[in-house]
Amino acid sequence: MKHFFLATLTLLLFLSATAPSQAQTTNANAARYEYCELLKTDFLTTPRKTKGSDIFVDFGFGYEKLGESDFAKREVGKMEVLSTPLSTLNYMGKLGWELVQVYSLPNGQKNQQSTHMLLRRLTTASGPK
């Protein structure tokens, strides 16, 4: 019985040593995304079709009013101040951004909420596609 166990163990060790090895590789061409977040503050008591709320953008350096900061203009291009979520999403879509997720949170003040829109766009090592 000892010889059988030893022979089996030796055979298994031999087979595992001669098996082709597989190295872990990473795909250099894997899709990479950059993200930005749009924030819309809104009062619940105002009619939905009014254009009174502001939209802010965050590219990873904190929220800035869309269209006003120099960084937002450089990052997205020549921008207008957009006041509706639909016009903002259409504009960002033309620049290659796609909508990933939308969620709303109460703002802590009476009848006020904030809507967060997470966007992403495909990028390469040399920059956005």
DSSP class of residue 44 equals T
- CATH for 32-128? 3.30.1410
36 is written with which tokens?
């930005």
Positions of the chain with pLDDT under 70: 11, 15-29, 42-53, 63-83, 109-111, 124-129
pLDDT value of position 99: 94
- pTM of this structure: 0.58
Place of tokens 């350096």: 61
| The pLDDT value given to residue 54 | 74
Where are the chain's structural domains? 32-128
- The answer to whether residues 68 and 76 touch, using CB atoms and an 8 Å cutoff, is no
